[in-house]
Amino acid sequence: MTFWPQLYNDTVKKWQSTPENLLQLFQLSDKFPVKSVEELLKLMGLGDIATVMDHLLHEKDMFAAAFHIPPDFDDTFVNIGLGSLLKEIPGYSDLFAKWQSTNSNLTSVLHALKRYAYRPHSNNTRVNTIDPRTYFYLHKFLAATNKTDAAFVPTWIQNVDEAMALSDKGVAMPFFVNNVDVTVAANTVNGLTSALLSGLFKPSDFDSDIQHIYKDTVDLIIYEITGNFSSRRDLALTYYPSKLECFWFTSRTLTILRDFYKKAPLPLKMLEDVLQKLEGAMRNKVTADILQEAIKSADGGIYFDDFLGDGDFDIKGNAIKYAEDRLFTTSMAVNTLINIWTSTEGDTLAFLNNTPSSVNETIQQSVKWLNDNILGTHLKPWNAFFSGSGKGQASLPFWYPANRKEYLNGTSFNDDMFPDGLFLVGFEGTLSDEQYNILLSQRHFGEKTPIDFPGFNPRGSPTGFFPFWSSDAYTYSTTMLAFAKYLKIK
C-alpha cells in the first residue's frame, strides 16, 4: 500500500502517489508575494517566521519530490493488522469480507519483504545500501550483537536500483535510498504477528527467511526501545517522532502474543522467545522510562509531555510550555502501561500478579487527568504522529558518513561539494567501529557529522523546523481506548 492516493500518469505510464492538497499548496506559493510578506513580518518583529518561510520555500522542490513515493511496509502491514482485527471481532464479518475482497494476495507482501529486506552483511548492493542516518544509529546495534547475517524490515518497498530507474517516472524513495525506522518495524512486526495468530497467514508461510527477518527486527526494536534509541531518537524514529507512540505500537504485539499463549501454543516456536524478550524489555526498561517521565499535576493527576508547543520563550528568555501534545502523549502512556501490565480474562482485563504499585497508581492518576482535561479548551489535542524524515538541518542525510555516492546513472562522485542534478548518498555494507569512527571525524559535504540530538526544539536560529502530521481524532480515539481499557480492569 501507499501513503498517498495514486493517480495514473499517462505520460510516463505509471501510477504516482499524489497528495493533491499538498501539491496545490506548493503551487500556490508560485503566485504568492513572498518577499513582500517576509519584509512585512520583519517590520512587525516576526523575523523568525520570515526565516522559516524562506527556508520552506527554498526546500519546496525537495518536499514536492518526496510526495511521489513508492509503496511502503508501514501502510501495508497496518492494513494487514486491520484485516486481522476485523477477522477476529464478532459482528464484523461483513466488513472483513469487504476487506478480504480487496486484499486477496496477502503472501505477496512476504515475497516483497524477502526481496527488499535490508541486509547490511550481504555482498549484493541492491540490499546492502541504506540511508547514512540509519547506519549511524544502527551500527551500534550491529556491533553490540555481533550479527553477521542481519536482515531488517525497511520502510520502502523499493531498492536503490529501482529508485534510480523510476525517478524520472515519479516513483522513488526520498533521497533514492531506503531506511530503517524503528516504529515502522514495530508496525510491521505487529502486522505479521496478528496475521499469523488470526489465520490470515499460515505457519508454513513463515519460511526460514521470513522468521530470520522477523527475529532480527524484533531484536533491533528491543535494543532501541531499551537503549534510548541509540541517543538519536530523531534518526531511529525516522517518521514517527513520538517515542511513546513507538512504545505503544510495540506493546500491542506483546499483548496479542501473551493473550494467544494463555489459550494455546504459539504457532511458531520462535514466537515463545520473542514473547519472553518483549516481556522483559517492556516490563523493565520501557516501564521505567515511562514512569520517569510522569509529571504530577496540582490536582493529584499525572500527565506526560513530549515536545509540541514547548519551544517558545517569553520576552525575558524564559521557556514557555504550551503542551500541545500533552493529551496525546498521556493517552499513549496509559495505553502502553495497560498493555504491558494486564492480561485478558474473558471480557475483562486483570493486572499481572507482579504489577508494581507505581504502575497501578500512574495508570489511575493519568486516567483521572485525561478525564478532567480531554474535553477542555485550554489544551490542544494535537500530536506529531507522523513526520518527514528530516528534523531540521542536523538530521539531513548528507552530513553522515557515506561510502556510496552516485548520480542516478551510476557514476560515482566525491562529497567535497554538492553535485548538480539528482544523486544518492548511501552507506553500503558494514564497517568496524574503528573504521566508522574515522569517517565520523571527517567532514561530509563540508560539514561535521551531528553526533548529538539537540531535541526537537533546539534553541537558536529557527532552522530546526520539520513537517509533521497531526490528528485531533487520533488523540480523542486513543484517549477513548485508554478509558475503555481502564474500565475493563477488574
Q: Give tens-digit pLDDT for 205-227.
A: 999 999 999 999 999 999 999 99
What is the structure's pLDDT at 23?
67
**pLDDT confidence tier of residue 465, bands split at 50, 70 and 90:** confident
Span 295-324, average pLDDT:
92
Kindly tell me if the per-residue pLDDT of 240 is higher than 90.
Answer: yes
**pLDDT confidence tier of residue 272, bands split at 50, 70 and 90:** very high
Q: Which has more pLDDT, 16 or 114?
A: 114
Span 444-451, average pLDDT:
96
Span 99-122, average pLDDT:
97
What is the structure's pLDDT at 392?
83
Span 357-383, average pLDDT:
98
Q: Which of 155-159, 388-392, 449-453, 485-489 has the lowest mean pLDDT?
A: 388-392
Helix axes 243-263, 182-198, angle to 10 degrees: 20
What is the structure's pLDDT at 463?
59
Looking at residue 476, its amino acid is Y
Angle at 254 between CA 248 and CA 258, to 5 degrees: 145
Span 418-442, average pLDDT:
95
Kindly tell me if the per-residue pLDDT of 41 is higher than 90.
Answer: no
The residue among 142, 121, 134 whose CA lies nearest residue 182 is 134
Assessment of whether the complete model's pTM goes beyond 0.75: yes
What is the structure's pLDDT at 60?
67
What is the structure's pLDDT at 2?
72
Kindly tell me if the per-residue pLDDT of 57 is higher than 80.
Answer: no
Please state whether beta strands 14-17 and 404-407 pair in parallel, antiparallel, or not at all (unpaired): unpaired
What is the structure's pLDDT at 103?
95
Burial-class residue 441 by CB neighbours within 10 Å (0-12, 13-18, 19+): exposed
**pLDDT confidence tier of residue 63, bands split at 50, 70 and 90:** low
What is the structure's pLDDT at 369?
98
Q: Which has more pLDDT, 169 or 194?
A: 194
Kindly tell me if the per-residue pLDDT of 61 is higher than 70.
Answer: no
Burial-class residue 225 by CB neighbours within 10 Å (0-12, 13-18, 19+): buried
Kindly tell me if the per-residue pLDDT of 389 is higher than 80.
Answer: yes
pLDDT digits (tens, 9 = 90+) for 404-423: 999 999 999 987 789 988 99
What is the structure's pLDDT at 317?
83
What is the structure's pLDDT at 265?
98
Instruction: Classify residue 160 by its DSSP letter.
Output: H
Span 303-325, average pLDDT:
91
Summary mean pLDDT of the chain: 93
421-426, long-range: CB < 8 A, 24+ apart: 422/167, 422/176, 423/176, 424/160, 424/163, 424/164, 424/175, 424/176, 424/177, 425/132, 425/175, 425/177, 425/397, 425/398, 426/129, 426/130, 426/131, 426/132, 426/160, 426/177, 426/402
Looking at residue 263, its amino acid is K
What is the structure's pLDDT at 16?
79
Span 61-89, average pLDDT:
88
Kindly tell me if the per-residue pLDDT of 94 is higher than 70.
Answer: yes
Q: Which has more pLDDT, 54 or 283?
A: 283
What is the structure's pLDDT at 37?
81
What is the structure's pLDDT at 251?
99
**pLDDT confidence tier of residue 31, bands split at 50, 70 and 90:** confident
Span 186-213, average pLDDT:
99
Q: Which has more pLDDT, 272 or 68?
A: 272
Q: For residues 156 and 165, what is the distance between their CA atoms, to the nearest angstrom?
A: 15
Three cell numbers at 425? 548518498
